[in-house]
A and B are shown apart, each in its own frame.
Chain A
Amino acid sequence: DVKVTQSSRYLVKRTGEKVFLECVQDMDHENMFWYRQDPGLGLRLIYFSYDVKMKEKGDIPEGYSVSREKKERFSLILESASTNQTSMYLCASRSPGQGLGGPQHFGDGTRLSIL
C-alpha cells in the first residue's frame, strides 16, 4: 500500500514564525500536492510538484512556498505564519503511470494552529 506520511498530526505556532510542514511518500511517485482543508470550503490546492525541484502554483499559493529536493519529500513552508493560515493541511502523491483516472493518495493531515 502507498504510504504518505506527514510529520505532525497537530502543530501550534505563533504569528510571524516560519513553519515547515513535511510530507514523505514511499511509492516513488512523481507528483506531490499540498492542500488546505477548511469547513465549508473543501480542499483547495496550494502547490504541486511534478518532479524534483519543480513546482507549480495551485489556487491559493499566497503566503506559502514549497521545496522538493528529493523525490519522496515535499515540504510546505509558511514564510511568516498568520492566523488566517490556521487550517488542516493535507499532502498527497500520485504516479502518472496510474493513468489519468488514477487516484491521489493522501496523508493523515496536519492540523495547524497559528496563535
Chain B
Amino acid sequence: AQTVTQSQPEMSVQEAETVTLSCTYDTSESDYYLFWYKQPPSRQMILVIRQEAYKQQNATENRFSVNFQKAAKSFSLKISDSQLGDAAMYFCAYRSALGNEKLTFGTGTRLTIIP
C-alpha cells in the first residue's frame, strides 16, 4: 500500500518570504499522480498543484511550484512571496494511475504567515 509522509506538522514564514513544505511517499508503482491541497481556516479543501510522475518537468502555478524527485520519492511544495492568504493546512496526496480513484493523504502541515 502507498503511504504519504509529511514530517513537518507546523511551519511558519514571514510575509513575502519563501517557504518549502516537505512530502515523501512510498510506492512500488511507476505511474501515479501527486497533489498538494490547501485547506484554509474556512475548511474547504482546494487543489493547489498537481504533478504526473511521468513528467520530468516540475509543475508550477503562479507562486506555487514543486520539486519532484521521483527516485527519492520526494514531492515538496515551494511557496514564493508568501501572502497572508496562504495560511492554511497543506496536504500532500498520492493517486495511482491504475485501479480506483483513491487518494492517499499525508497528515498535513499547518502553515502560518507572520505579518
Give the B-binding residues of A (Cβ under 8 A): 31, 33, 40-45, 48, 50, 56, 58, 88, 90, 92, 94, 96, 100-101, 103-104, 106-109
Contact = CB atoms under 8 A, between A and B. Distances in A.
Given A42-B107, A45-B103, A88-B43, 8 more contacts: A42-B105, A42-B108, A48-B101, A100-B97, A104-B103, A106-B46, A108-B43, A109-B43
A7 to B, nearest CB: 15
A26 B4 CA distance: 31
Contacts of B107: 40-42
Given A40-B107, A42-B108, A103-B35, A48 B102 contact: yes
Nearest to A109: B43
B28 interface: no
B1 to A, nearest CB: 9
B45 interface: yes
B52 A101 contact: yes
Interface of B: 4, 6, 9, 33, 35, 37, 42-47, 50, 52, 91, 95, 97, 100-103, 105-108
Contacts of A107: 44
A43 B101 contact: no
A45 B102 contact: yes
B100 A56 contact: yes
B91 A108 contact: no
A103 B48 CA distance: 10
A41 B9 CA distance: 11
B104 to A, nearest CB: 8
Contacts of B97: 100
B91 to A, nearest CB: 6
Contact of A90 (B33, B45, B95): B45
Contacts of A104: 47, 103
Contacts of B9: 40
A96 B45 CA distance: 19
B103 to A, nearest CB: 6
A106 B102 contact: no
A43 B4 CA distance: 11
Contacts of B42: 108
Nearest to A48: B101
